[in-house]
Structure 1
Amino acid sequence: MVEKGCSQVVVREYDEEKDCKKAVELERRCEVGPSAKLSLFTDLLGDPLCRIRNSPYFLMLVAEMEVDEGKKEIVGIVRGCIKTATCGKKLPRNAQSHHAHRPIYTKLAYILGLRVSPSHRRMRIGLQLVEKMEEWFRQKGAEYAYMATESDNEASINLFTKKCAYSKFRTPSILVQPVFAHKAHVSKRVSVIKLSPLEAESLYSRRFATTEFYPRDIGAILNNKLNLGTFVAISGNEEWAGVDRFLAEPPASWAVMSVWNCKDVYTLQVKGASMVRRGFCKTSRLLDRALPWLRLPSVPDLFRPFGFHFLYGLGGHGPLAVKLTKALCGFAHNMAKEYGCGVVATEVSGNEPLTLGIPHWKKLSCADLWCMKRLLEDYSDGDVGDWTKSEAGVSIFVDPREL
């Protein structure tokens, strides 16, 4: 156990047997999201570790305070995980093509799920939790740490940038699309092929390994039970002859994406909506079910607990890549409908050209902010230099295990 700052607060490792119930209660007391009127609540289905269990290395810390003599209360929690990921690329000597670029890997840590009890904020508890987590990161040899938050979450941004020395690094977008009562239209002139995990790993490793944040253990993700599949879209007049042929002689246009089942990990719920808004949303659903051929933009019932699917590993090439991406998103929408999800979501770089093919509602989507910190001062810059000072690329690879 480590005690910092206030003598009443102790930061220690989470004990699953002893702390589970208290951690779940704390999670449910904390609001998530930028809106004061519409709050997004996360229900971890009774497992505070569910968001990090699938990572190669993970840790959860709790901040504990004695509230009465002999009685202790958990007033803060934080989660962290570590993996090896791409931070840049290099062109080997005598290489004749940009396709010969090789990834530069780094040991990367991620902070998520920082929560402090509303009645115990402004007591430096969040800072203590982050500092203790960073100690563990350094012990494990992590070279960089990053976190993600809403771009207008001033409290979180100030904590990390002003008190913990993180730098604003990337500004991706979270794009959210409702799952309608009717099926999304998928053009018959598009062929959607499901890849095996081994085929998907081969494609991603050959085409995306130099993408920023690409996880070196991509096979573990693709073989995870939460991964519902990887899908490639090509024009209907193209012939699919297997992934090896695809990699050797790719079609003029193609797109790819994978689907992660967050519904079996945790659920979300929007609270604070007025009766008028609830009534409008319910009416839109009734009309959509009654007149499905009109394809009305109905709003699912987000005021009760709902699950979602996350689309990751999006990529493509060619003049029809945007159109093919749209077809894949329609395919994913219909899959989410069969699973009973409320929304489908993805996260992409602010520079991602395929964004034009990703259907989403602006009112449900938001801007995100990733902040980065260099943990090891004596770490050699190597081929990439200081990653925290690098320019943003076109794309990023968002690891679904870190949602």
Structure 2
Amino acid sequence: MVAEGEVVAVVVVREYDEKKDSSAVEEMENRCEVGPSAKLSLFTDLLGDPICRVRNSPAYLMLVAELVVVGGGEDKERREIVGAIRGCIKTVTCGTKLSRNGSNKPLPVYTKLAYILGLRVSPSHRRMGIGLKLVRQIEEWFGENGAEYSYMATENDNHASVKLFTEKCGYSKFRTPSILVHPVFAHRVRPDPRVAIVRLGAADAEALYRRRFSSTEFFPRDIDAVLGNKLSLGTFLALPRGAAWPAAGGAAAFLASPPESWAVLSAWNCQDVYKLEVRGASRVRRALFKTTRALDRAFPWLHLPSVPQVFRPFGFHFLYGLGGEGPNAVRMMRALCGSAHNLAKDCGCGVVATEVADREPLRLGIPHWESLSCAEDLWCIKRLGEDYSDGSVGDWTKSPPGNSIFVDPREF
């Protein structure tokens, strides 16, 4: 019972109900600051479904924090969603071990990894412990489903988020990859005449990734599910002009006798999941960007760099699975990114984005604009329990970074 005139407020964390919570969660998230000024930030969910960014993962959950207020002279209780969090679990590579057959070939060591995505708390209800409550409850679900580690990503200068996870939740700073973003121009990028672009079938792409990249940190064991997803736009291989994918033998034959240089990437259609917009730009910058578009439309043969309309919701493509070998691999990657730009232009996207390790040697071949990119995206990790991976690598949280990481597009 609530005494007359008394007001009782309780925050309840529960599972997201798609039928009744969708619009309330979207409204709450639109009130949140989702990134630094003039950077790319989450704007709205195109499908009207706030859980769709993790729906493609093998196991996922979304929780909401609901403020329940009773009393204050009103007969019925009042409810308001003031926070939300998403989480998913998958199996990924966390290290390597040597083969026992004497080949000295490194074999992937897998672990069950949980990922926290999209922690949001309404600005009017922060510093009330709601974020901490959401994190602890989703970690409980992670543990119940066998996850051995949990990690999250945030901007390095998001001090509130970093403090919450590192000081209150027991996470440690782990990796600092870069998000590289390039605008889609009104004109097409000219193809490199020295490079041939081949589109691989899903089976060939899976075989190439498993043979060449399965020992890369964060490589998903269910890469077949990623490549076969309806949001996957294909895998593209860059080769020297005149070279070709082998007619027989597939990935095994290709890697047994590869060309001098080659590169590969896959594309993911994020614009069918959610939209982005750039916030905080001055009127001068907006006018300047508008001028670049006008000039590019008027003189397309000049190939002037222009900025698309990024101050209202726009879609984008995400590039993942980047890799390659050889002295000209950077040139091959640049050619692939040009082809990806043209694909994004044909689909009406505003930008093309990717995320790579800070030591990634191929990043020199990835065109991007610093003003739209994030030089240091911070990944924090936590060990949830004993390491049950097949072939112990010790405590993954203490392992040094490698040159590359595999960024799962389902979590971007």
Match of 2:284 in 1: 276
For the residues of structure 2 that align with 1:162 and 1:234, how far apart are their CA atoms? 48
Alignment counterpart, residue 376 of structure 1, candidates 381, 385, 391: 385
Counterpart residue number, 1:23: 25
Does residue 83 of structure 1 match 2:90? yes
Is the contact between residue 41 and residue 271 of structure 1 (CA under 8 Å) also seen in structure 2?
no
Of the candidates 140, 143, 148, which is equivalent to residue 143 of structure 1?
148
Residues 62-141 of structure 1 aligned to structure 2 (within 5 Å)? 62-67=64-69, 69=71, 70-97=77-104, 100-141=105-146
SS where residue 95 of structure 1 aligns? coil
Tell me which amino acid in the other structure corresponds to 2:79.
Answer: K
Question: Which 5+ residue runs of structure 1 have no aligned equivalent?
Answer: 1-5
In structure 2, the residue matched to 1:321 is 329
* Contact 2:69–2:79 (CA under 8 A) maintained in structure 1: yes
Q: Which runs of 4+ in 1 moved over 4 A?
A: 377-382
Show the counterpart of 1:3. Answer: none
For residues 195 and 40 of structure 2, the distance between their equivalents in structure 1, rounded to whole angstroms, comes to 39
Hey, what's the Cα distance between the residues in 2 that align with 1:16 and 1:274? 37
Q: Which residue of 1 aligns with 2:11?
A: 9
Residue 275 of structure 1, CA deviation: 2.4
Counterpart Cα distance in 2 of 1:119 and 1:345: 32
CA gap of 1:83–1:94, structure 2 versus 1, over 3 A, is same
Q: Aligned letter for 2:121?
A: V
Residue 350 of structure 2 is matched in structure 1 by 342
What amino acid sits opposite 1:134 in the alignment?
A: E
Secondary structure at the residue paired with 2:197?
strand
Distance 1:227 1:381, change over 3 A: closer
What's the RMSD between the two structures over aligned residues? 1.6
Once the two structures are superposed, the pairs formed by residues 228-239 of structure 1 within 5 Å of their partners are 228-239=233-244
Equivalent position of 1:393 in the other structure: 402
Query: Once the 2 structures are TM-superposed, how far is the Cα of residue 41 of structure 1 from its aligned partner?
Result: 4.1
SS, match of residue 363 in structure 2: helix
User: In 2 relative to 1, CA 331–38 (structure 1 residues): closer, same or farther, beyond 3 Å?
Assistant: closer
Distance of 1:87 and 1:379 partners within structure 2: 12
Alignment size in residue pairs: 395
1:169 aligns with 2:174: yes
Letter matched to residue 222 of structure 2: D
Shift in alpha-carbon separation, 1:381–1:222, aligned structure 2, 3 A: closer
Q: Is the contact made by 2:110 and 2:390 (CA closer than 8 Å) also made in structure 1?
A: no
| Cα separation, 2, equivalents of 1:343 and 1:32 | 18
How much has 1:240 moved relative to structure 2? 2.8
Q: Structure 2 vs 1, CA of residues 292 and 380 (structure 1 numbering), >3 Å: closer, same or farther?
A: closer
Name the aligned partner's letter for residue 96 of structure 2.
K
Q: Which stretch of the first structure deviates more once superposed, 182-191 or 51-60?
A: 182-191
- Shift in Å, 1:401: 0.2
Tell me the residue number matched to 1:294: 302
Report the counterpart of residue 369 of structure 2 in structure 1: 361
Q: Deviations over 1:183-231 (max 9, x none)?
A: 1122111110001111100100000000000000000000001000000
- Look up the SS of the partner of 2:153 in the other structure: strand
Residues in 1 aligned to 2:391 and 2:206: alpha-carbon distance in whole angstroms:
27
SS at match of 2:124: helix
**How far apart in 1 are the matches of 2:58 and 2:41?**
28
Q: Secondary structure at the match of 1:395?
A: coil
Cα shift at 1:381: 9.5
Matching residue's letter, 1:326: R
In 2, the alpha carbon distance for the partners of 1:150 and 1:378 equals 28
Deviation at 1:273, TM superposition (A): 2.5
Structure 2: unaligned runs, 5 residues or longer: 1-7, 72-76
Distance in 1, matches of 2:205 and 2:88, equals: 24
* CA–CA separation in structure 2 for the residues paired with 1:311 and 1:39: 16
| 1:38 positional shift | 6.2
How far apart are the structure 2 equivalents of 1:85 and 1:7? 41
Q: What is the aligned partner in structure 1 of residue 161 from structure 2?
A: 156
Equivalent pair of 1:351/1:393 in contact (CA under 8 Å): yes
Pairwise CA distance, 1:144: 0.2
Residues 113 and 148 of structure 2 are in contact (CA less than 8 Å); yes or no, is this contact kept in structure 1? yes
% of aligned pairs identical? 66
The structure 2 residue matched to 1:224, chosen from 214, 221, 229, is 229
Q: What is the letter of the counterpart of residue 286 of structure 1?
A: A
Residue aligned with 2:23, SS: helix
Counterpart Cα distance in 1 of 2:388 and 2:320: 31
Instruction: Give SS of 2:368's match.
Output: coil
Is the Cα contact below 8 Å between 1:31 and 1:39 reproduced in 2? no
Q: Provide the TM-score with structure 2 as the length reference.
A: 0.93
Structure 1 length as normaliser, TM-score?
0.95
Higher mean C-alpha deviation, range 86-95 or range 281-290: 86-95
Q: Hey, what's the Cα distance between the residues in 1 that align with 2:313 and 2:284?
A: 19
DSSP 3-state at the match of 1:296? coil
Give deviations 1:232-286, integer Å, cap 9, x for gaps: 0000032332434313311111100000000110011123333222111111101
Q: 1:179, 1:344 within 8 Å by CA — same for their partners in 2? A: yes
**Per the alignment, do residues 379 and 215 of structure 1 end up closer, same or farther by CA in structure 2, a change over 3 Å counting?**
closer
State the secondary structure of the residue aligned to 1:8.
Answer: strand
Instruction: Return the alpha-carbon distance in structure 2 between the equivalents of residues 60 and 177 of structure 1.
Output: 31
Local SS of the residue matching 2:372: coil
Alpha-carbon offset, residue 382 of structure 1: 4.6
SS in 1 for 2:242: coil
